[in-house]
Chain A
Amino acid sequence: MSNTLFDKVWDSHVVKKIKNGPDVLFIDRHLVHEVTSPVAFLGLTNRKLNVLFPEKTFATADHNTPTKNQNLPIKDPLSAKQLQTLKLNAKRHEIPFWGLGHKKNGIVHVIGPENGITLPGATIVCGDSHTSTHGAFGAIAFGIGTSEVEMVLSTQCVLQPKPKKMRITINGNLKEHVTPKDVALYIISQITTSGATGYFVEYAGNVFKQMSMEGRMTVCNLSIEMGARGGMIAPDKKTIDYVKGKEFTPQGDEFLELSKYWISLRSEKNALFDKEYLFDGNQIEPMITYGTNPGMGISISNKIPFSRDLNVNKETFEKSLKYMNFNEGDNLIGKKIDYVFLGSCTNGRIEDFREFAKFVRGKKKSPNVTAWLVPGSHNVHKEIVKEGIFDILINSGFEIREPGCSACLAMNEDKIPNGKYVVSTSNRNFEGRQGPGARTILASPVVAAAAAVTGKITDPRKI
């Protein structure tokens, strides 16, 4: 039965089915960045191949870029070479390239939607696991490895076994200061970090219907953190309104035709899923993580669980808590923190800055906190200034950096020091993810704002 949203989009992109093997899936949009592409381009050179559809390919630099003084030459020679390599590859293969300093530059998953590259019903890939973000538009979007980047560059296709289908339905109403990030962290805490491995997820129910496009992007972004290759939400009027008029969105009659098709993309009433989950939105509280994978999350007012009460490997669980220097049964409220990071493809969009600014307005940043506020793109930065958010943040003692992935993966110089605690709006609390020895507590922009002004883990509802 091919009657889910996922089936409709997937099946319409299958060029060929390989018997007892994967499907040959046609890719509408290929996003490319500096870190996972150079070896793929090298492969093209070695095979004497060209990019088959440069017009379906878009390149940006984001993972390995500085977030200060982007106008100056890059100090680290390896990083400089990697950025230069992307520039040369894009030029050689005539791929649109929005490099460092370009007004459209930003995190690949922020600029795709901003510019109408991301469209409903499309297949979108990128050599980055958070490509799942674009599923917010009812697209099938997933991360691929470098060998697959080379496949898509040279043939516009990937070979993929069709994943199983999962639906996660959440009805009810979200409470004050419960954000899309909390919804996602809640789901992952319930189904674990590998709970959706092998599946593609559809998010359904009125919590997602009521959510803004940017909120939907945050949720779909975190699909990979539950193991899913991607997650998607059926397009609705909000989706159509969002993509309308963007630079790369088709215009005029073509747009009207496409809109009709896009709005038809939804799972039928009798659609069959391989697995279904149902959660109550009213039960979700502001969330934080306490361990070293995104599934180790709790409501901010709850205590760290005991391993004996969980279905986990004791050795792995203890290793994780030891790394964080936490104990089973600890309550994290009041725990002193050192850094706050607002940004990333998870929470680096304008709504995230609005939420953060709304909370810190009229308050001051705690003197013991170093805060890195990194917009997802130049467009987001422009909007921050335009809406007066910039002034609010400056008046509260914050500085705003230039766009990029920054401390989310700490590939550039934005590294949280060894042993320090960071409340981060990013997506991964893995050991060393934000710098060797860094201790990450994942949270929403609101919880991050509460931590930034108090210098400790604080329930935003108690301020």
Chain B
Amino acid sequence: MSYDKFVKLSSTVVPLPIENIDTDQIIPARFLKATERNGFGDNLFRDWRYDENNKKKKDFVLNNQKFSGNILVAGKNFGSGSSREHAAWAIYDYGFRCVISSFFADIFKNNCLNIGVLPVQVSSTFLEKIFELVYTNPETIVNINLNSQSVSIKNSELTENFNINEYKKNNMLNGFDDIDYLLNIKDSIINFSKNTPI
């Protein structure tokens, strides 16, 4: 089974300069009752996006028509808290293919990589620069190139490299899947299991 390949992305961005955004904000628990993986985008950032009467909150960035795009740019320590993959699904389902931050929580980062959303970790200076340029000009384009592991801001000199392990990079470039990998070594797994103590 494969997912969308990720090679390059050029897009305007949606800025969310709040730190420590946890997965309960990305998708609150009361929207985790589905037994299939669809419709989560509607509830992305639900309680920041809508008030208690389900009216759009004007001051939230997703409700601001000035900002749009396939890249979400968020403050430090994005995706902390619950392991719910629904958070990554909601981000994907809404239309984001990449999240840029200066720091990601572990499980969230893994979940993104497993479904084809690229987490791009940049320096805090670079992150600030993106926020600054985007607030000045919401049409600012950010370019992501997975092959060269680089992120740059169009019409500027600003560029930075990001880390991703070779295995995951290859998966994303080709839309490969971990389960296919593991199924191919199933015999060694079964052999291994015979020597585990419990």
Contacts and interface: CB of A to CB of B under 8 A. Distances in A.
Contact of B166 (A21, A197, A312): A21
A14 to B, nearest CB: 9
Given A119-B198, A227-B105, A293 B193 contact: no
Contacts of A381: none
Interface residues of A, number: 80
Interface stretch (B60-68, B83-91, B132-140, B143-151): B83-91
Interface in B61-87: 75-77, 80-86
A85 B34 CA distance: 10
Given A79-B33, A197-B77, A258-B198, A20 B83 contact: no
A161 B165 contact: yes
7 contacts: A13-B196, A38-B35, A43-B179, A64-B32, A156-B193, A197-B80, A261-B197
Contacts of B47: 431-432, 436
A36 interface: yes
B33 A82 contact: yes
Give the interface centre of B33, B114, B166, B178 by most chain A CB atoms within 10 Å: B33
Interface in B1-32: 1, 17-20, 22, 24-25, 28-30, 32
Nearest to B112: A145
A20 B115 CA distance: 20
A274 to B, nearest CB: 15
B10 to A, nearest CB: 27
B77 A315 contact: no
Given A316-B18, A433-B24, A147 B189 contact: no
B17 A36 contact: no
A53 B194 CA distance: 12
Interface in A89-128: 119, 121-122, 127-128
A20 B166 contact: yes
A168 interface: no
A254 B51 CA distance: 58
Contacts of B161: none
Given A194-B105, A197-B77, A437 B165 contact: no
A409 B84 CA distance: 12
A159 B178 contact: yes
A122 B35 CA distance: 30
Interface in A239-270: 250, 258, 261
A415 B75 CA distance: 29
A53 B193 contact: yes
Nearest to B177: A147
Given A39-B35, A250-B198, A313-B19, A143 B183 contact: no
